[in-house]
Amino acid sequence: MKDPAYTVECARILDIVPMLNLERKYFDTCWHSEAALICKLIEQEPMMFRVCKVNGKVKGYYWVFPLEHSIWNKIITGEMPEGELVKHIRSFDEPELYLYISSVIVDQTDKLRKNYTKALVYDFGRRFVLGKSSDAPDVRAIGAFTISEGGRRLMERAKFSYQGNFRVHGKEMKSWAIDRRTLAQQSVSERQLRLTRKIA
C-alpha cells in the first residue's frame, strides 16, 4: 500500500484547532498558545506557520518569527521571554531578517511521523535557507532553543551551534544558532553527497 501524499503550506484559520491540539498533546501547559493570538499572527504574516497535511488533516507544523538582530539575540540568549516577540515581528518582505524557530511539532502517534518531519525540514530549507526564489526572505541567521531530546537531535543534525543554557518556566533550555549561508552550504553539500552515494 502506498503512503498517503502530503503537502506543506501556509496555515489557515481552519488549521488553528488541530495545530493547538498537537501543541497541547506534546507541550507542557506553560507553552500553550491562545487561539486568538495564532489567528492574529496568521492574518498578519501567514508564512510564520507552515503545516504538513495528509488529505487536508494537519500532521505537523513549524512556527517561525521574523525579527531584527537585537531582538533575535535577546530571545536566543534568554534575555527576552518568548511572549514579548509578538510586539517585534517584522514583515518577511523587509531586509536583514533573523529567524527564531518557536515550534516544530509532528504527530508522534502517526507511523509516518519521520516523513512529516522531513517534509517540514525540507520546506523550511527551500523557503528560508536556500533562497532560490526571487521572493525568498532575506534571512541572515536562524536561532532556536530546545526543551526535548528530539529538538536537540534536530539542531545537532542540522549542525546548529550550541549557544548555552538558561532556564524558562523552571525548565532547562538549550540555545542554538547558525548563519543562513553556512546552513545553505551544508544543505547543498549533504545533497551532493547523497547523490554521489546513489550513483556509486
**pTM of the predicted model as reported, rounded to 2 decimal places:** 0.88
Q: In the chain, where do the E strands start and end?
A: 6-10, 49-54, 57-67, 97-106, 139-146, 161-168, 171-179
146 phi-psi bin (left φ>0, alpha ψ -120 to 50, beta other): beta
CATH of 6-199, one of 2.40.170.20, 3.30.160.270, 3.40.630.30, 3.40.50.1220: 3.40.630.30
- Residues 82-130 have pLDDT tens digits of 889 999 999 999 999 999 999 999 999 999 999 999 999 999 999 999 8
Locate 125 and state its grid cell.
530549507
3-state SS record for 86-104: HHCCCCCCCCCEEEEEEEE
b (16+ CB within 10 A) / e for 92-117: beeeebbbbbbbbbbbeeeebeebbb
In terms of average pLDDT, the best of 14-23, 150-159, 188-197 is: 14-23
